A and B are shown apart, each in its own frame.
Chain A
Amino acid sequence: MDILNQLIQGFATAGTPINLLWAFVGCALGTAVGVLPGIGPATAVAMLLPITSHVDATASMIFFAGIYYGAMYGGSTTSILLNTPGETASMVTAMEGNKMAKSGRAGAALATAAIGSFVAGTIATLMVTLFAPVVAEYAVRLGPPEYFCLMLLALLTVSAVLGRSTVRGLASLFVGLAIGLVGMDQITGQARYTGGVPELLDGVEIVLVAVGLFAVAEALHAVLFEGSSHGSQNKLSRVSMTASDWRRSLPAWLRGTAIGAPFGCIPAGGTEIPTFLSYAVEKKLAKGEHQAEFGKKGAIEGVAGPEAANNATVTTALIPLLTLGIPVSNTTAILLGAFQNYGIQPGPQLFTNSAALVWALIASLYIGNVMLLVLNLPLVGLWVKLLKVPKPQLYAGILIFATVGAYGMRQSAFDLVLLYAIGVLGLVMRRFDFPTAPVVVGMILGPLAEAQLRNALSIGEGKWTVFLERPMSLGLLGVVLAVLVLPRVFKKRG
């Protein structure tokens, strides 16, 4: 029981008072940013990246994981109570959750979302515990060609497959790759696009790009286009579930988990597909009067299933991040950046070289789930008060934290000008419906993929056929092709 021993070791590390405190603060902060509109987990983690220069790796990864997790719990609160659609991750929850809240069942919707998140999160963490070491062991055997194919898969799905338009997705991806090019070439050490500025040798800071694209762009968009819009809020009822609610929720949670978990494992990110899939399944399986509730009074299965699927996907997404070093979303990309700040490159070696850190992180996920259940069930009324913060103060406050993140990283006032410029870029992108995730993922994954590509070609002595000669990489290229072609074929057929 090697895994069990290491997990116990992890609990010992994560259970020290100071690490528990980091986990708690992370979960609380995560819930807060999840509840507040205009700021999400990716922004929050990015703003706090400067702490990586002073706080030790284990503590800050536990902290960041808490934010990552907590935001998922908080996000469902907002989507159930506010009548405006929030992030894509909680869009499906909003469909039924909103209807339930309107018919006076907000409390039950919140409860099933929180408990469902807990059930799914815990099962998915168990899967991370059991499978991540296995995947890592297997991944050691992958060579540069296979890695490159996996990264290509991640880059192409995030830009070309998810989202409304392939052309705009690819445009965003290329912009991200272009930003990633700035700095020293990983293999030859040659400077590229630095314009002779020594600070740029290390590349463009992730904080600047992420905070600019998300926080500053969001605030600029709010001031420019959302002035007169007022969202209305549903009334909170007692947060509890009846026996019948439990009976209906439990199978939905488990089905949602079963649907969501596999999606996180493959480097083809996004929570939209599993949540929509879970919603469709629940609607199909519901019978009689329960089915009639869908879209009318609001069916509890339609909240329980997608919410569980969402959390399961988000949790198992840590498997490709930790074992392969491949991020599939904004937040995991920024978490990868946090690892890099410590000089740690997630990948198969992580489980041997930084075993203590990884297992403490996994243990903290179990702990975090329990903390979040407590934070979100009895204390949900507290978080709902956050929705009362008026918009001007909310966005102006976000700008202060954006400044802390951007300035704190390098102590350069010029970075603040750059932050504004990236914010304007993000505003234009949002206005014309260019997705932002490909920029962040491309910027972080691009240099890694380039290095793998060149190493792969070195192995093949300069011949591109190296990708076709190895069965594993050939198979992965097949998957890439399938992911690109199949959705289009299905769409054509309706």
Chain B
Amino acid sequence: MAGSKHVALMVLITLLLAGCGAPVRPSAGGVPRGDSTTAAGVHSSPADEPVDGGTLYLSMFSAPRGVFNPILMEDGYDANIVGLVFAGLLTRDERLELVCDLCESFTVSPDHRRFTFRLRRDVTWHDGRPFTAHDVAYTFRTILHPDYPGVLTGEYAALRGVEAMLAERAKADQEQAARRITAGEAAARKQAGWQAWLENEGREAIQVVDDHTVVFTADRPHAPLLQNLSVPLIPAHVFDSTPPGDMAEHPATRAPVGTGPYRFVRYVPDQYVELVRHEAYHRGRPHIERIIYRIANQDVAIGQLKAGELDYVPLKPADVVLVEGDPNIGVFVRPDLGYQYLGLNHRNPLFADRRVRQAILLAIDRQAMVDHLLKGYGHLAESHLPHGHPYHDPEALPARGRDAAAAARLLAEAGWTERDAEGYLVRNGRRFRFTLLYPSGNAVRVASAPLIQADLKAVGIQVDLQMVEFSTLAATVFEGGGADAWLMGWSVGLDPDPGPVFDPDSRWGQATGWQSARSRMLLRIGASRLEPEERRPVYREWSRLLAKELPVIFLYSQDQIEAVRLDRVRGLRPDARGALWNIWDLWISPERR
């Protein structure tokens, strides 16, 4: 296990060193390049010089829905394509900090309420039209429109006047639900509220100063807003003749027009997405001419990678060993910003006591899950911000190994002292017993359920396992509140603010029923500060609180493992953003086409 990581690291270092030899192009991309036919065709370049042309074969394991619209998509497979076709105002650098992508610069006012973006002037949409501040305004105004058929609206509640407008909409919804007004009246009220906002606060909330300057104004300082403003932008000139309510049916939702490095060609359902390079991409014309993003079967994909049919495959931990000896395949490991947890219903008297939750955490051999189920490609999760997150602080949160004796002691302190004939804990004649629901699908998670059952049995807790499919589990946990314990995972955004995950008024917070005034206060402070150095201590404190209080039992976070054909794909500079983040800078080795 340690060995395999070592190899991966070696590959990574080698590549980084190799990358140093490659010419560094200015990211501004202002230098026009010569005619491509002379550049690629005539000279036979050495292997470490970028050469244009070729096709890159990527893979994913589930078919995208085909909703390739960044403000409508609901699924990660669509996001794979959107990430190549679209670009936003901001992107992430190698330290995962927000930096300009479609902007030249952005400034934040001293009161942390105004964000001014100066846009790049060399950006064009894939259909050749120039990208301007109107596209930026159009994207965010659409998200806030009452008829917008997507779910991102709440992300922008901090913009001036939006929270009040959304509150009015919620009131209209309530009155409609109570049948005091008709659906038509509710819609009319929302429309009127929207018009009023557009003509008043809305002008300030999203202000187009000129074609290349846009200013956002918030009601209050709200740090996550900046990340939310980095959502990929959609073209106003394509959509603006369509009412926002009909956007899902617009052809450009399925055949998108973006400003990203690759232009959409077609999606053959369940088969592949074909993309071709955007000649005028603002960071420089991509070298690789075409991308075929294939939908592959996870069990077959490694064979396809080895046979050279695929250039890129996301790996399961157990599959790393299958490609390890192959000098043509590089394996890149990075932390995934997500974790798995054991959710508990705190309204159940069994779990109301914090000591019991701590005992459960200590009784479970989480390290064994990392070592055996993840083959070492993972980390213990101790709190909400996992290993690899910019706000993760390992010193504040020492890893807690399995400690059955401490678990037994904590359980005894909580009043669980007696055992019945079968060795299970009893109190007032009732056994410590609960049902653990877990979803089918994620193989590692499925395998962790019986381990949890066995570990808890060892401290006298009886767990009944019940596997259900995901929709059923999600409906039970987040809509019915009928589950006692369940396994699930969160993916965590780069902004440390957890959103409503632990908000007791949200359906996510209600699933556990955990309440903490202190958590609420810390999160309010954390979200209101924009400077990372000011936010860090707040989230450190909050992480400690969660690690102690255990609103859920944090289990593990899994690394992302990516395998790439090194003999074909050149120019790799993998970092925290993944193996292919600089896709426009990669090229296909001419000898291996």
Q: Is this pair of chains taken from one and the same complex?
A: no
